Structure 1
Amino acid sequence: MSDISEAIGRFEVDQFLAQQAIGLMELASLNADDTPEKIITLCQRALTPVGHVAAVCVLPRFAGLARRTLDNLQAREIMVVAAVNFPTGSPSVSLAEQETQAAILAGADEVDLVYPFHALLGGDRQIGADIVSACKAKCGRAALTVTLETGVLRDPQVIHGASCVAIQEGASFLKTSTGKQIVSATPQASRILIAAIAESGAHVGINVSGNVRTLDEARVHMDLVKARFGPRWVEQGRLRLGATSLLDDLLVRLGVGA
């Protein structure tokens, strides 16, 4: 009987976490061959039978379409995030500024800036600060996520340093990865970003993105956040799960199919 009770307990915990995770999700379509039809389908998918996700992330040229589609679906609370400087992390400040301004004017609620990770690895520590600062200025009141491409940066000290720069220059979220690299979100990367946020004392969240496909994988990162900041931190203003393929597993866990 105790084994049955324990199994029921685990099932209920998994159900709660799956429901919670859906509300933290950021669905993305960031491909060169994206079409308006694909973006509309993405927005429709964001309204699941068991609740809405937190955000959809698209290329800047689709920001307006995504916002209009979600508004038509009466889902104004779902944020539209525009990925700029994506995915290469160019060191061009003017290009990132232009993309950011265009995305905001088109209707993006938030901007996701890819940090110039190649330049940083090449020894340029200033360009990251310059780009984040410039894009923050163009965002106005919109939130700014900074994607650090931790799987390429690799060195914990380098990742930590870039995290601190991003926070100092006004990032609203730190993101682990574009999802376009072989190594994306890892527990180690989350720990480093969480540590930088904790040290700063700033109101900055974390977006765990890339290769998080199951509830069990998501649970690892959710537990890391709770261990450092407490359970109240597990809400969409502090934690995002940028893992589109995760939704299928969560829906199955909640008994509604994919």
Structure 2
Amino acid sequence: MTADLTPAEAARLALQCLDLTSLNDGDTDADVDALCRRAQSPFGPVAAVCVWPRFVGRARGLLPAGIRVAAVANFPAGELDLPPALAEVRTIAEAGGDEVDVVLPYRALKQGQVAACADFLAAVRQASRPLTLKVIIESGELATPALIAQATRLALAAGADFVKTSTGKTRVSATPEAAAVMLTEIVAGGFDKVGFKASGGLRTVADATVYLLLAAQHLGTSALNPQRLRFGASGLLTAVEAQLSGRASTGAASGY
């Protein structure tokens, strides 16, 4: 299953690997309720829902055990400020969350504060165990392959379970070029259990297919599952459902 991946096959895989996301500033209980209903698609469940830390308990109470609850920390600013990030991790864990998506202090990394960024990630990893940890490197802001590779290596060295492209809150989000660099680092480091998450700007099944093929190329087709691959998005589910129901869709809704 590589270059001949059909749209229907891609849609099914995208659904299984989807972190259905709502991270709007004005999100309410009603928004989270609706998100959790959407997560239980007629075509099967998504992998997880991703919300603000304050909504973790509500989401966990609404979802079946098979759908994981993820929440963000140090999001979206990615500051080099450890105490608030650790407080968010504690909130997520105590409310019954399963996964933490933390933003690497990417501005500090661009300024050369490599050791401080490594210490930040190590502390978040220690505080978040045994939850799944996804490190958002904000690849669009790092911009260069060298910085994207360095950020990926820092995340891997800290014990990240997934390395994630973007918050979806910056001008440039996920790109195939950045994904290729990140996947190359996962393989080069021998991290055969670490996953990759594409997030930001994924709206169509065609968008998802690009990353499915990249993941298959670098990690192997056996990695096309939610243990190794995730998509962070809001609008992608609409396009997936349209594809699986036989209706055309542009997937025009916004995505993270």
- Shared fold per TM-score greater than 0.5: yes
Q: Are the aligned partners of 2:10 and 2:208 in contact in 1 as well (CA < 8 Å)?
A: no
Q: Displacement, 1:254? A: 0.8
Counterpart amino acid of residue 212 in structure 2: M
Matched, 1:194 2:194: no
Q: Displacement, 1:91? A: 0.4
Matched, 1:29 2:22: yes
RMSD: 1.4
Q: Which residue of 1 aligns with 2:199?
A: 209
Q: Are the aligned partners of 1:96 and 1:131 in contact in 2 as well (CA < 8 Å)?
A: no
Counterpart amino acid of residue 225 in structure 2: E
Gap regions ≥5 residues in structure 1: 1-9
Residue 89 of structure 1 aligns to a residue whose secondary structure is: coil
Change (3 A) 1:127 1:256: farther
Q: Distance in 2 between matches of 1:56 and 1:185?
A: 19
Q: Are the aligned partners of 2:10 and 2:212 in contact in 1 as well (CA < 8 Å)?
A: no
Q: Which residue of 1 aligns with 2:83?
A: 94
TM-score (norm 1): 0.91
- Give per-residue Cα distances to partners, 1:166-221, cap 9 Å, x unaligned: 10111000000001111101000110110110011122100000111111111111
Counterpart amino acid of residue 97 in structure 1: L
Q: Displacement, 1:59? A: 0.7
Q: Distance in 2 between matches of 1:34 and 1:229?
A: 35
Tell me which of 43, 53, 74 is aligned to 1:50. Answer: 43
Q: Distance in 2 between matches of 1:131 and 1:27?
A: 27
More helix by share: 1
Q: How many pairs are equivalent? A: 244
- Structural mapping, 1:97-246, within 5 Å: 97-202=86-191, 203-246=193-236
Residue 102 of structure 2 aligns to a residue whose secondary structure is: strand
Gap regions ≥5 residues in structure 2: 250-256
Identity %: 39
Higher normalized contact order (CA 8 Å, seq sep 6+, divided by chain length): 2
Q: Which residue of 2 aligns with 1:6?
A: none
Q: Distance in 2 between matches of 1:104 and 1:131?
A: 18
Q: Are the aligned partners of 2:57 and 2:97 in contact in 1 as well (CA < 8 Å)?
A: yes
The structure number with the bigger radius of gyration is: 1
Q: Which residue of 2 aligns with 1:7?
A: none
Q: Are the aligned partners of 2:78 and 2:106 in contact in 1 as well (CA < 8 Å)?
A: yes
Tell me which of 230, 251, 256 is aligned to 2:241. Answer: 251
Q: Which runs of 4+ in 1 moved over 6 A?
A: none
Q: Are the aligned partners of 2:101 and 2:134 in contact in 1 as well (CA < 8 Å)?
A: yes
Matched, 1:60 2:56: no
Residue 72 of structure 2 aligns to a residue whose secondary structure is: strand
